């Protein structure tokens, strides 16, 4: 079953708002604001899912109307089970770790196809993410995230330069590519001319008391690419 998320995200440039927070009320407030501003993807972040379980995916789905919901499960094993859990809760996109075995990723992919959800492989903390991407494209994976971890950002700034270096090594691809790691409007501007489809922005929005205006700023930066 073809994932509706793939057809929506495979062309153009999109914003994904990452709710890597554990305050449910704030998460819902931001999700509603993002949905009202036509943000393409709202992410149920890993901390949010660990605090409230997959029920938080159902609740985010109820709080929004048009946005796709990504469940950042970051599965390292039993990929099929975790994809099934997220899909049954209403997720449109589910993540699995790129460092997981091919068997885990294959099982996650097969389960995602049963439910019509998009499987995204998170290439976080891999030395050669572009090589891993090529390998997994051969088994049918269609979405990848180039991702600088939050803990690394705290020590080494945003890591945008390293991401750009990796992205420039990519061959032309039909896969959906997202980037995450300390992004803000200024840092998004440097991705002009790249194959990136989705810009994942978390802290710049979630740490602000005026998240509505921050979302507008990011959307404006993406529109200029």
pLDDT at 161: 77
- Model confidence, pTM: 0.95
Is residue 82 a contact partner of residue 48, using CB atoms and an 8 Å limit? no
Rounded to 10 deg, the angle between the 55-63 and 24-36 helix axes is 40
| CATH 3.20.20.70 for the 4-223 domain, yes or no | yes
Domain residues of the chain, as ranges?
4-223
Backbone angles phi, psi at 131, to 5 degrees: -70, -40
Cα distance between residue 134 and residue 171, in whole Å: 9
How far apart (Å, rounded) are the C-alpha atoms in residues 212 and 199?
17
pLDDT at residue number 157? 58
For the cut 80, the answer to whether the pLDDT of residue 156 exceeds it is: no
Cβ atoms within 10 Å, residue 72: 25
> Lowest-confidence range among 44-48, 97-101, 122-126?
122-126
Candidates 216, 167, 220; CA nearest to 191 is 167
pLDDT at 158: 55
Q: What is the pLDDT of residue 177?
A: 96
Tokens of 33: 């604001």
What are residue 201's DSSP bridge partners? 17
Q: How far is it, in rounded angstroms, from Cα 79 to Cα 95?
A: 9
Mean pLDDT throughout 117-142? 95
* Whole-number CA gyration radius for the chain: 16
């Amino acid at each position: 079953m073809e994932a509706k998320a793939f057809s929506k995200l495979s062309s153009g440039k999109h914003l994904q708002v990452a709710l890597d927070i554990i305050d449910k009320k704030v998460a819902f407030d931001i999700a509603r604001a993002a949905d009202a501003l036509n943000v393409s993807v709202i992410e149920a972040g890993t901390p949010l899912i660990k605090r409230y379980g997959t029920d938080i995916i159902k609740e985010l789905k109820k709080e929004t109307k048009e946005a796709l919901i990504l469940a950042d499960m970051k599965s390292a094993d039993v990929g099929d089970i975790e994809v099934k859990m997220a899909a049954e809760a209403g997720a449109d996109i589910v993540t699995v770790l790129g460092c997981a075995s091919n068997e885990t990723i294959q099982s996650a992919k097969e389960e995602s196809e049963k439910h019509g959800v998009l499987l995204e492989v998170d290439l976080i903390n891999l030395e050669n993410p572009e090589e891993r991407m090529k390998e997994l494209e051969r088994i049918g994976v269609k979405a990848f995230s180039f991702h600088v971890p939050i803990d690394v950002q705290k020590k080494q700034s945003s890591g945008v330069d390293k991401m750009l270096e990796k992205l420039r090594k990519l061959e032309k691809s039909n896969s959906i590519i997202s980037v995450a790691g300390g992004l803000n409007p200024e840092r998004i501007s440097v991705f002009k001319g790249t194959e990136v489809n989705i810009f994942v922005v978390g802290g710049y929005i979630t740490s602000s008391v005026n998240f509505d205006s921050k979302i507008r700023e990011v959307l404006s930066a993406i529109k200029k690419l």
